[in-house]
């Protein structure tokens, strides 16, 4: 009987030792995983800061360039999008750029593109988008077509023989696209009410190469 009890004790001691060893291995693996994950997060956080820094630099440069300008523009300090009323370029229900609108673009576009496509930033830029927006009067199809026609009219004019030559004109063709958004992105007044006048607008905005990746990383980190 004593021999059997001793064997049982030895068996359970061996099993306990095995479980302890397995727990230690698991704890070690978990620690390694946590360290690797933390290293990955630290790396991604550094990438986020770098991209945010570039965007901040671009917005600062744009703000500095146009702060003394008489042009009717608004710079979004979060995204860097530049907005101006559609009436600056077009008559109501028209996609033909007015003479005043052409003069506006002659002054605005070269300065804008010279900043974005300077050597410091050009490798960070993924695309530059001209967007047309309308108010909500009329049908969806009508406003979508009008906004697209207006955006394309601006693009066509910039690369026409009529437009003045500027330093990065040829280079910019690899970056610029034109889109119409109809009335899908309305703007509001300070009190939260819909603002049809502000909603009728043209925007110039830029995307950085890492914007989408950084957005995904931020969502992951914030979970």
> Would the pTM of this model clear 0.75, i.e. be above it?
no
DSSP 78-117: TT--EEEEGGGTB-TT--SBPHHHHHHHHHHHHHHHHHHT
pLDDT at 70: 86
Task: Count other Cβ atoms within 10 Å, centred on residue 210.
Answer: 17
**pLDDT averaged per 10 residues, the chain (length 223):** 52 59 72 63 54 83 90 90 92 94 96 95 94 95 97 97 95 96 92 91 92 56 52
pLDDT value for 38: 59
CB 192 within 8 A of CB 77: no
Element (H, E) at 72: none
Phi, psi for 29 (deg, rounded to 5): -65, -40
- The backbone region for 82, taken as left when phi is positive above 0, alpha when psi lies in -120 to 50, beta otherwise, is beta
């Amino acid at each position: 009987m004593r021999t059997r009890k001793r064997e049982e004790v030895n068996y359970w001691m061996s099993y306990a030792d095995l479980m302890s060893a397995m727990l230690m291995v698991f704890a070690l693996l978990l620690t390694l995983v946590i360290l690797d994950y933390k290293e990955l997060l630290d790396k991604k956080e550094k990438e986020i800061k770098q991209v945010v820094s570039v965007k901040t630099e671009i917005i600062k440069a744009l703000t500095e360039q146009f702060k003394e300008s008489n042009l009717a523009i608004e710079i979004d300090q979060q995204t860097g999008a530049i907005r101006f009323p559609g009436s600056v370029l077009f008559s109501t229900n028209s996609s033909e750029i007015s003479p005043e609108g052409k003069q506006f673009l002659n002054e605005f576009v070269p300065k804008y593109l010279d900043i974005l496509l300077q050597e410091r930033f050009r490798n960070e830029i993924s695309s530059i988008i001209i967007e047309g927006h309308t108010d909500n009067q009329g049908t969806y199809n009508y406003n979508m077509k009008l906004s697209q026609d207006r955006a394309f009219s601006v693009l066509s004019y910039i690369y026409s023989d009529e437009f003045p030559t500027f330093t990065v004109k040829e280079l910019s063709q690899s970056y610029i696209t034109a889109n119409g958004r109809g009335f899908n992105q309305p703007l509001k007044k300070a009190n939260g009410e819909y603002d049809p006048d502000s909603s009728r607008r043209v925007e110039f905005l830029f995307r950085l190469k890492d914007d989408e990746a950084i957005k995904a990383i931020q969502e992951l980190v914030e979970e």
